[in-house]
Amino acid sequence: MIDMKKELPMKQLLMRIDTTLLILLSATIILIEFNERNSTFFLAWLLMLVLFLFFAGVLVYSFIRSYNTHLISPRVVKFVPFILGSLMIPILVLTSTYLKNDGFKSVVLKASYEGNHNEINLTLYKDSTFQLLNSGPFGGNYVRGNYRFRHDTLYIDKQELSKIFPTGQLVLKVNDQKEKYFVPVARDSSSQMSLSVGKDRLTQR
């Protein structure tokens, strides 16, 4: 037989405003992260900052309210909303990592280009797939595909990148300061952007 005295407080805890807010905020953050997986918006970071600060504020409020709640036994039960919100933190971190790294993939190389009006971020994964973000002042789009790295040359297999890298080939160079960078192979003598290599566990240079 169900103990109504225990069921009622638990139902009230789950229907509390802080519980509802923590669930709604978590769902909103995940939805934004999912949308940012394919395209970015220049104000998304500000919105995420506001949501995380609001989430932290609600979590603190939940702890204080739970602490001041009386007549609920066992005592740990009254902290259910706060515990629920705390458990959402690692879930949000894991979800963000999963979406940003295309599924917990191992990163072997990162390269980037920063221009006056645009930015390119290239990420290569161990499974021979890549992720490239081409962004401007108001946001950008992700492109994903496969790559091959042979004899200091990176071959990218993706038609959508033909305007950025017409030949789909980038040659790895090293300057006098031992800094690595990729130079796109051009079809003509026009100036091409070069991508500075940051993290590198792929090349042997």
pLDDT in tens, the chain (205 residues): 444 444 446 667 777 888 999 999 999 999 998 888 877 887 888 899 999 999 999 999 999 988 887 756 567 777 888 999 999 999 999 998 888 777 888 999 999 998 888 899 999 999 999 999 888 888 888 889 999 999 899 999 877 787 788 888 999 999 988 899 999 987 665 556 889 998 888 887 6
Cα–Cα distance for residue pair 171/185, rounded to 1 Å: 7
138 CB neighbour count, 10 Å cutoff: 9
- Alpha helix (H) ranges present in the chain? 4-14, 17-36, 44-67, 80-100
- Note the pTM of the prediction, 2 decimals: 0.74
Q: Are strands 169-174 and 195-200 parallel, antiparallel or unpaired?
A: unpaired
